[in-house]
């Protein structure tokens, strides 16, 4: 049973269509380069005022959510198994740094590669089905990866990998201070988001979009839809892996928390809350969810309850997400005036 209403799911991301001929002041307000520059400046200064590990955590999860969003928002594929990439990459990076003595950048690269490979394996299986089945398959395969991680010798089982050393970057730049790690994370985050942006705005991204809107038509136009979906899946997995690897540098820890299904749910929530199919949405979603978790961490399971409630609320009444809603209001307001 294929879903014919697929397009509806992604309408939230369509707000930017038709804004090509914006004029003067409005053009400045929507200029991506300007906003990116402002954003980077803010992120460069911010750690001097806020605990850098906290922002670094947000950035790692924002990248993770952006990677997930690349798949859902632009390829229309809902994966419920992204924790597998995030978590497995974290383990691989942790192992490489701790036991193999890799330098920071090689550790992160190894983790990212592991995420991509795992993505290739899972993607090959999952793209054989669509819609709801796709979601269930990714969830089930990720659970399998979880059990492997639970039993495999190199993951530290229930304890995870603790006290992973923050090795020097390129063997020369010291990573022992939180501030330096923060700037590494910021760099990784910017590169990751840039890759997402370029992908979405490339011919490849256009093909993905057309497959999402109408797969049979895209196939009849000669596109190998499965191959495109697989490539998107692998890219998303690799970027999720990048996020997971970088997280190890921040917390010096890779554990089962990173790889269990709740983590897959969290990243879905971040993307949905922030705005599916938007560039900034994942960052906004991640910021809110991480803050929420930190605030509610002391009171048992309240955080889970609140996350569940936010999920239900978003689906019922707030499907565009925060950034999507702002974009939508902005476009309609522009259209009227």
d(CA 32, CA 36): 6
d(CA 82, CA 254): 16
Q: Of 141, 88, 84, nearest to 114 (Cα)?
A: 88
**Number of separate helices (H) and strands (E) present in the chain:** 15, 0
Judged by CB under 8 A, the stretch of 52-60, 140-148, 209-217, 284-292 that binds another protein is: 140-148
d(CA 40, CA 63): 14
Closer residue to another protein (CB): 55 or 149:
149
Burial class (CB in 10 A: 0-12, 13-18, 19+), 25: exposed
**Least distance (Å) between residue 183 CB and another protein:** 35
d(CA 33, CA 17): 18
The reply to whether 130 sits near another protein by the rule CB under 8 A is yes
Of the residues 51, 133, 154, 170, which one makes contact with another protein according to CB under 8 A: 133
Q: Which two tokens stand for residue 326?
A: 């702002």
Of the residues 14, 113, 131, 325, which one makes contact with another protein according to CB under 8 A: 131
Closer residue to another protein (CB): 58 or 139:
139
**Least distance (Å) between residue 300 CB and another protein:** 5
Residues in the interface with another protein (CB under 8 A) total: 50
Closer residue to another protein (CB): 44 or 150:
150
String of contacts with another protein for each residue 273-292, x by CB under 8 A: --------------------
String of contacts with another protein for each residue 242-271, x by CB under 8 A: -------------------x---x--xx--
Within 13 Å of residue 68, how many CA atoms lie on the same side as its CB? 38
The three-state secondary structure class of 188 is helix
**Least distance (Å) between residue 76 CB and another protein:** 9
The reply to whether 316 sits near another protein by the rule CB under 8 A is yes
Q: Of 142, 177, 162, 179, nearest to 248 (Cα)?
A: 162
The reply to whether 300 sits near another protein by the rule CB under 8 A is yes
- What per-residue string of b and e applies to 102-140 under the rule 16 or more CB within 10 Å gives b? bbbbbbbbbbbbbbbbbbeebbeebbeebbeebbebbbe
- What per-residue string of b and e applies to 68-95 under the rule 16 or more CB within 10 Å gives b? bbbbbbbbbbbbbbbbbbbbbbbbbbbb
Judged by CB under 8 A, the stretch of 23-31, 188-196, 197-205, 312-320 that binds another protein is: 312-320
The DSSP secondary-structure symbol of 82 reads T
**Least distance (Å) between residue 309 CB and another protein:** 6
User: 254 pairs with which residues across the strands?
Assistant: 161
Closer residue to another protein (CB): 212 or 247:
212
The reply to whether 148 sits near another protein by the rule CB under 8 A is yes
Judged by CB under 8 A, the stretch of 13-21, 105-113, 207-215, 309-317 that binds another protein is: 309-317
Binding site for another protein (CB under 8 A): 1-3, 5-6, 8-9, 78, 80, 125-126, 128-133, 135-137, 139-141, 143-144, 147-148, 150-151, 261, 265, 268-269, 272, 300-305, 307-312, 314-316, 319
């Amino acid at each position: 049973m294929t879903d014919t209403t697929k397009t509806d799911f992604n309408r939230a991301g369509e707000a930017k269509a038709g804004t090509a001929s914006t004029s003067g002041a409005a053009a400045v307000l929507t200029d991506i380069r300007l906003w990116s520059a402002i954003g980077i400046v803010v992120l460069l200064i911010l750690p001097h005022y806020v605990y850098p590990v906290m922002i670094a955590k947000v950035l790692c999860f924002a990248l993770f959510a952006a990677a997930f969003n690349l798949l859902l928002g632009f390829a229309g594929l809902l994966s419920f198994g992204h924790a597998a990439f995030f978590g497995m990459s974290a383990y691989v990076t942790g192992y490489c740094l701790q036991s193999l003595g890799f330098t920071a950048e090689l550790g992160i690269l190894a983790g990212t590669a592991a995420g991509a490979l795992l993505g290739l394996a899972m993607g090959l299986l999952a793209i054989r089905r669509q819609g709801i089945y796709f979601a269930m398959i990714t969830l089930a395969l990720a659970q399998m990866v979880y059990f492997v991680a639970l039993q495999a010798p190199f993951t530290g089982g229930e304890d995870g990998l603790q006290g992973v050393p923050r090795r020097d970057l390129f063997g020369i730049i010291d990573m022992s201070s939180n501030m330096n790690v923060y700037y590494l994370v910021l760099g990784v985050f910017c590169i990751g988001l840039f890759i997402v942006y370029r992908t979405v705005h490339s011919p490849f991204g256009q093909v993905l979009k057309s497959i999402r809107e109408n797969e049979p038509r895209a196939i009849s136009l000669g596109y190998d839809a499965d191959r495109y979906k697989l490539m998107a899946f692998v890219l998303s997995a690799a970027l999720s892996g990048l996020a997971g690897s970088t997280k190890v540098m921040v917390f010096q820890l890779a554990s089962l928390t990173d790889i269990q299904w709740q983590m897959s749910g969290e990243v879905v929530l971040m993307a949905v809350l922030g705005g599916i199919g938007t560039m900034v949405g994942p960052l906004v979603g991640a910021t809110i969810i991480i803050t929420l978790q930190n605030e509610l961490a002391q009171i048992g399971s309240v955080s889970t309850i609140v996350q569940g409630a936010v999920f239900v609320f978003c689906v019922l009444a707030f499907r565009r997400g925060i950034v999507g809603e702002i974009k939508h209001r902005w476009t309609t307001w522009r259209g009227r005036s």
